[in-house]
Amino acid sequence: MQFYSTNNKDLRVDLKEAVVRSLPADNGLYMPETITPLPETFWETWRDMPLNELGFHVAKQILGDSIPADALKQIVDEAITFDAPLVPLSPQLQILELFHGPTLAFKDFGARFMARTMAYLTKDDDKELTVLVATSGDTGGAVASAFHNVEGTRVIILYPKGGVSDLQEKQLTTLGGNITALEVDGSFDDCQAMVKANFLDRQLMEEHNLTSANSINISRLIPQAFYYFHAARQLPEGTEPVFVIPSGNFGNLTAGLFAQKLGLPVRHWVAATNINDTVPRYLADGNYAPLASTPTISNAMDVGAPSNFARMKNLFENDWESMRENISGLAFDDDETRQAIRAVKDQTSYTIDPHGAVGVLAAEAWLQASPEDICIVLETAHPSKFLPTMEQELGSGPVEVPERLACLSSLPKVAHAVSNDPKEILTYL
Ligand X SMILES: *Cc1c(COP(=O)(O)O)cnc(C)c1O
Given the rule CB under 6 A, which residues bind ligand X? 105, 107, 137-138, 215, 246-252, 300-301, 355, 380-381
Smallest separation (angstroms) from ligand X to the CB of 326: 16
Q: Which is nearer to ligand X, 72 or 164 (CB)?
A: 164
SS3 for 39? coil
Smallest separation (angstroms) from ligand X to the CB of 5: 20
* Count of CB atoms situated within 10 Å of the CB of 143: 31
Smallest separation (angstroms) from ligand X to the CB of 165: 11
38/43 Cα distance (integer angstroms): 8
Smallest separation (angstroms) from ligand X to the CB of 60: 23
Smallest separation (angstroms) from ligand X to the CB of 236: 28
% helix / strand / coil in the chain, to the nearest 5? Answer: 45, 15, 40
Q: Which is nearer to ligand X, 208 or 230 (CB)?
A: 230
Q: Which is nearer to ligand X, 165 or 209 (CB)?
A: 165
Smallest separation (angstroms) from ligand X to the CB of 300: 3
Q: At a CB cut-off of 8 Å and minimum separation 6, what does 262 contact?
A: 35, 36, 37, 38, 58, 61, 62, 225
Smallest separation (angstroms) from ligand X to the CB of 12: 26
Q: Which is nearer to ligand X, 67 or 95 (CB)?
A: 95
Q: Which is nearer to ligand X, 102 or 246 (CB)?
A: 246
AA identity, residue 284: A
Q: Which is nearer to ligand X, 55 or 110 (CB)?
A: 110
Q: How far is CA 426 from CA 179, 196, 197, in A?
A: 16, 13, 12
**Nearest CA-CA partner of 305 in 318, 288, 320:** 288
SS3 for 407? coil
Q: Which is nearer to ligand X, 305 or 394 (CB)?
A: 305
Torsion of CA 87, 88, 94, 95, to 10 degrees: -30
Q: At a CB cut-off of 8 Å and minimum separation 6, what does 137 contact?
A: 105, 163, 164, 165, 168, 299, 300, 385
